Amino acid sequence: MDTRTRPAAPSRARRRPARWLRDLSIVIKLNAMVAVFVAIILTLLALAGAALAITNGVRAYVGGEGLWSKGQKDAVYYVMRYARTHDEADWRKYQAAVAIPLGDRQARLEMEKPDYDYAIVEQGFVQGGNAPEDVPYMVFLFRTLGGYGHLAQAIGIWRQGDRHLDRLVEAADALRTLHRGGAINPARERELLDRIDQINAELTRLEREFSATLGKGARWLQRVLLLSVFASTALLLACGYWVARRIALELRLGILGLREGALRVAAGDLDIPVEIRSHDELGQLARVFNDMMAHRRQAEESLRSAHEFRDKVMESATNSIHALDLEGRFTLVNRRTCEMTGYPVEELLGASYVKLFPPEVLAEVNRQFETVIREGRTVEQFETVLQRKDGSRVAITFSSAPLVRDGRIVGLVGTAEDISARKRAEAALAAHAAELARSNAELERFAYVASHDLQEPLRTVTSFTQLLAQRYTDRNDPTVHEYVGFITESVQRMRDLIEGLLAYSRVSHQREALQDVDLNERLQQVIASLDAAIKASGARVTHDPLPRLRAYPSLILRLLQNLLSNALKFRRADIAPEVHVSAAREDGVWRISVRDNGIGIDPQHAERIFVLFQRLHTRDDFPGNGLGLAICKKIIEQHGGRIWVEPANPGSVFHFTLPAT
């Protein structure tokens, strides 16, 4: 995969978040953002809770102080009244009133212990007239902030009050003891009451001081709380904003990179891949995007080379290649189409095929077009005539197939071949063949007539030569005998030639009908007729059982005669001739083979020997006239068969086929 990237701008590089942050999954990043804000909210809630607890605590202490102060004042009032009335009810009221500050003191003393007992604290505060619900706040405030600032001062004042409270209780108890004793001691009573008054004044001062210090502390605390709430809110929000901004920036850059990549792809630029900034989902997306781009680039390249290949094939094709739409208009043509029609490409594209055909063939061509377009069938090698731009006509064959896209026929694609040259050649060949057949017939006729007519004078020459020979026999002149021998031999050769020619021409004019022929019988006939030659050469002629078949009997006889006599004639000087005739049935025909062990035939002359008057060997060694095998070939063709020769080792084997019945 291509990993080229656009160089990133320096400012962007500086603003990049840390690698670990970039590689985190987007889900984790978003969860982290949510977590940050949840933490901020929880912290704020905790701060608010703490502030509430502190405020509640301060409020409870202020309220408690009011009760405490009232209790102390009531205690002083009732003890003084008791001094006057000696009424037990007043004494009890005094006791109830003094229990309030004593309860508060009990709670404070317990809270000052490191391992305080909450129950004792609660009991003390409740005795001091405080609501049990406020106790946790009071404990919290005392134990967390009790050692600091104004609160510590207020608690110090509270502690100072203890001593006076003890003195108050002492004085009250002394007064009671005095009264209970029954002794009347106005001076002592006076002194005790003055002390109580003094303690009261002192306690009242301390209470005021306590209230003022607590008030200051409360205001200070309020400010501190407010400040810390604001500060921590601001700090948390800043942190949250920073994290969120980092994450959002990274996501934005990743998305922007993908967007730019998508725009580039849309504009056809597949060369610059998208920058892979991280390993998160966007990074994976960018990687997949780049892979996709690489695949598309590959696909486009293969498409381009496929198009180039198609164009090359189209342009180098020797036939017309074209495509038509459903209305029969050309949508694609190659160079050869233009050459064949004489129209330039711009005149063909978009034009209908109709203008390329003369009126007399148009209906048929239209039918072919419909066959392809409407029925979806192919048309193969349809022969017709094309009318070129200059009006000249060319013979063509065309083949067309439907062009199917998404299961629908959208046109056709076809090829056309200019066959005018082939047509001309075929016509010339046909004319030539007819001419040849005519002259052959004439020649055969001439040969027949001439041979026939030559027989008569030949007979005369033969008869008179014999008469002449008899007449001069008495003279005993060797020259005469020699001359007569020459004449007789020449006459014999001429007769053979004439007979051969007659036989050759008779093959095609034979009058007999096809008959059942037993090849065994015919072969025996031939062997009998060649008896002298067989004996003279010491030949051995053998054969396998041969079939019966439908043939012209005299022609078959002649065929076997020629082949067997050749097999005996073209023998080797050193060994006695051996001839074997066999038969094999194959593909509905009989193949008959005549094998000899003679001088053999060079394969390069295998065709030539079946042509009239073609001889491979000299007349002196092997007298002949080159007619035998030509006659054989003609006989075999007359039967619809085939004749050929193959070399055998030694000698040769002639095969011919005849139809099996």
Q: Please say whether the beta carbons of 182 and 137 come within 8 A.
A: no
Contact pattern for ligand ADP over residues 49 through 78, marking x by CB under 6 A: ------------------------------
Task: For residue 225, give Cα distances in angstroms to 63, 131, 346, 644.
Answer: 21, 25, 89, 126
H or E stretch including 399? strand 393-405
Q: In the complex with ligand ADP, which residue's Cβ is closer, 504 or 590? A: 504
DSSP string computed for 580-635: EEEEEEETTEEEEEEEE-SS---GGGTTGGGSTT--SS-TTTS---S-HHHHHHHH
Burial class (CB in 10 A: 0-12, 13-18, 19+), 11: exposed
Work out whether the CA dihedral 138, 141, 147, 148 comes out positive or negative. negative
Q: In the complex with ligand ADP, which residue's Cβ is closer, 150 or 569? A: 569
Residue nearest to ligand ADP (CB): 624
Q: In the complex with ligand ADP, which residue's Cβ is closer, 334 or 505? A: 505
485/239 Cα distance (integer angstroms): 142
Q: In the complex with ligand ADP, which residue's Cβ is closer, 434 or 576? A: 576
Phi, psi of 408 (to 5 degrees): -120, 140
Burial class (CB in 10 A: 0-12, 13-18, 19+), 270: buried
Rg (the chain; Cα; Å)? 70
Contact pattern for ligand ADP over residues 517 through 556, marking x by CB under 6 A: ----------------------------------------
Both tokens assigned to 620: 């002196």
CB of 632 to ligand ADP, least distance (A): 8
Both tokens assigned to 472: 């001069």
By rule CB under 6 A, what count of residues binds ligand ADP?
Answer: 22
Q: Which of residues 614-653 bind ligand ADP (CB under 6 A)?
A: 614-617, 624-630, 652
Q: In the complex with ligand ADP, which residue's Cβ is closer, 348 or 630? A: 630
CB of 619 to ligand ADP, least distance (A): 8
Q: Please say whether the beta carbons of 397 and 375 come within 8 A.
A: no
**Angle, CA of 539, 543 and 547, to the nearest 5°:** 150
Neighbours of 235 (CB within 10 A): 12
Q: In the complex with ligand ADP, which residue's Cβ is closer, 381 or 649? A: 649
Contact pattern for ligand ADP over residues 296 through 325, marking x by CB under 6 A: ------------------------------
CB of 630 to ligand ADP, least distance (A): 6
Closest CA to 471 of 484, 460, 459: 484
Q: In the complex with ligand ADP, which residue's Cβ is closer, 463 or 508? A: 508
Q: What is the DSSP letter of 353?
A: G
- Whether the link from the prior residue into 650 is cis, omega within 30° of 0, is yes
Q: In the complex with ligand ADP, which residue's Cβ is closer, 411 or 598? A: 598
Closest CA to 365 of 425, 292, 416: 416
| DSSP E strand stretches across 65-174 | none
CB of 572 to ligand ADP, least distance (A): 10
Q: In the complex with ligand ADP, which residue's Cβ is closer, 192 or 629? A: 629
Closest CA to 83 of 94, 67, 71: 94
CB of 623 to ligand ADP, least distance (A): 8
Task: For residue 399, give Cα distances in angstroms to 135, 355, 371, 658.
Answer: 107, 18, 12, 41
Both tokens assigned to 170: 């002492």
CB of 539 to ligand ADP, least distance (A): 12
279/281 Cα distance (integer angstroms): 7
CB of 380 to ligand ADP, least distance (A): 46
Q: In the complex with ligand ADP, which residue's Cβ is closer, 340 or 627? A: 627
Q: In the complex with ligand ADP, which residue's Cβ is closer, 427 or 611? A: 611
Q: In the complex with ligand ADP, which residue's Cβ is closer, 332 or 627? A: 627
CB of 429 to ligand ADP, least distance (A): 28
185/178 Cα distance (integer angstroms): 8
CB of 321 to ligand ADP, least distance (A): 52
CB of 631 to ligand ADP, least distance (A): 8
The verdict on 656 binding ligand ADP (CB under 6 A) reads no
Q: In the complex with ligand ADP, which residue's Cβ is closer, 199 or 539? A: 539
Q: What is the DSSP letter of 619?
A: T
CB of 563 to ligand ADP, least distance (A): 7
CB of 444 to ligand ADP, least distance (A): 17
N- to C-terminal Cα separation, the chain: 75
67/60 Cα distance (integer angstroms): 10
Q: Which of residues 595-614 bind ligand ADP (CB under 6 A)?
A: 596, 598-601, 609, 614
CB of 600 to ligand ADP, least distance (A): 6
Q: Which residues lie below 8 Å from residue 390, measured CB to CB, with a gap of 6+? A: 342
Q: Which of residues 123-152 bind ligand ADP (CB under 6 A)?
A: none
Q: Which of residues 558-587 bind ligand ADP (CB under 6 A)?
A: 562, 566-567, 570
Neighbours of 572 (CB within 10 A): 14
CB of 399 to ligand ADP, least distance (A): 48
Q: In the complex with ligand ADP, which residue's Cβ is closer, 343 or 570? A: 570
Where does this chain bind ligand ADP (CB under 6 A)?
562, 566-567, 570, 596, 598-601, 609, 614-617, 624-630, 652
